[in-house]
């Protein structure tokens, strides 16, 4: 049961958006622009970073829902999502994505863990300033979303199947309150 009185059965962060629509609005807008707005990274790649950070934070709701969105968007390449979440790396990802995921993992621990060498490696693999910016902000924002969902113990559906429809909706329609 959630730590505060939210509507029964509404999963994860949606129940918190209903409790506090004033903060839900900018949080949805942030997710929409960050995961689906203009970026050199595809939405599939950005959902993958979100799922990866949520996995490292052990946030089941965010991990399952964003992994489902990433699987939907990667479509025929969807096995890369499970490969990454299982092994924490994925040979079928580009060197650029692997270097960016390394930075995302650093940010998940602390922003201070990112070194000039990490940035240099990402640049050598083809990342530009916007790739690096977007990766750091996705990792930082999921360090927030994960803590918001788990810090209030919001309802987390238990079965992976529960997230299939959610992932499809997120991948198609995105984030709106």
Residues at the site binding a second copy, with contacts judged by CB under 8 A: 3-5, 16, 19-20, 22-23, 25-27, 29-30, 33-34, 37-38, 57-59, 103, 106-107, 110-112, 114, 116, 119, 129-130, 132-133, 136-137, 139-141, 143-153
H or E element at residue 61: helix 60-74
* Residue 30 Cβ vs a second copy, minimum distance, rounded to whole Å: 4
| Complex with a second copy: residue 1 or 87, whichever CB lies closer | 1
In 75-128, which ranges are continuous DSSP H helix?
Answer: 79-87, 95-109, 116-124
**Sign (positive or negative) of CA dihedral 63, 166, 26, 81:** positive
* Residue 139 Cβ vs a second copy, minimum distance, rounded to whole Å: 7
Residues 6+ apart with CB under 8 A from 58: none
| Complex with a second copy: residue 3 or 161, whichever CB lies closer | 3
Q: Which residue has the tokens 């990792």?
A: 139
**Which tokens hold the place of 104?**
């995302």
* Residue 91 Cβ vs a second copy, minimum distance, rounded to whole Å: 26
Residues 6+ apart with CB under 8 A from 87: none
| Complex with a second copy: residue 59 or 67, whichever CB lies closer | 59
* Residue 152 Cβ vs a second copy, minimum distance, rounded to whole Å: 5
């Amino acid at each position: 049961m959630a730590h505060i009185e939210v509507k029964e059965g509404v999963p994860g962060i949606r129940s918190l958006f209903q409790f506090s629509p004033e903060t839900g609005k900018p949080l949805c807008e942030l997710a929409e622009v960050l995961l689906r707005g203009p970026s050199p990274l595809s939405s599939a790649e950005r959902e993958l970073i979100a799922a990866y950070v949520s996995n490292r934070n052990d946030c089941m709701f965010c991990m399952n829902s964003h992994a489902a969105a990433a699987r939907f968007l990667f479509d025929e390449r969807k096995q890369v999502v499970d490969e990454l979440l299982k092994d924490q790396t994925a040979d079928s990802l580009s060197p650029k994505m692997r270097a960016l995921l390394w930075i995302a993992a650093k940010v998940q621990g602390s922003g201070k863990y990112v070194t000039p060498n990490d940035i240099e490696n990402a640049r050598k693999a083809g990342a530009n300033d916007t790739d690096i910016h977007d990766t750091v902000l996705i990792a930082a924002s999921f360090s927030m979303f994960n803590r918001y969902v788990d810090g209030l113990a919001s309802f987390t559906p238990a079965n992976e199947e529960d997230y299939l429809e959610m992932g499809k909706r997120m991948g198609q329609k995105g984030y709106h309150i």
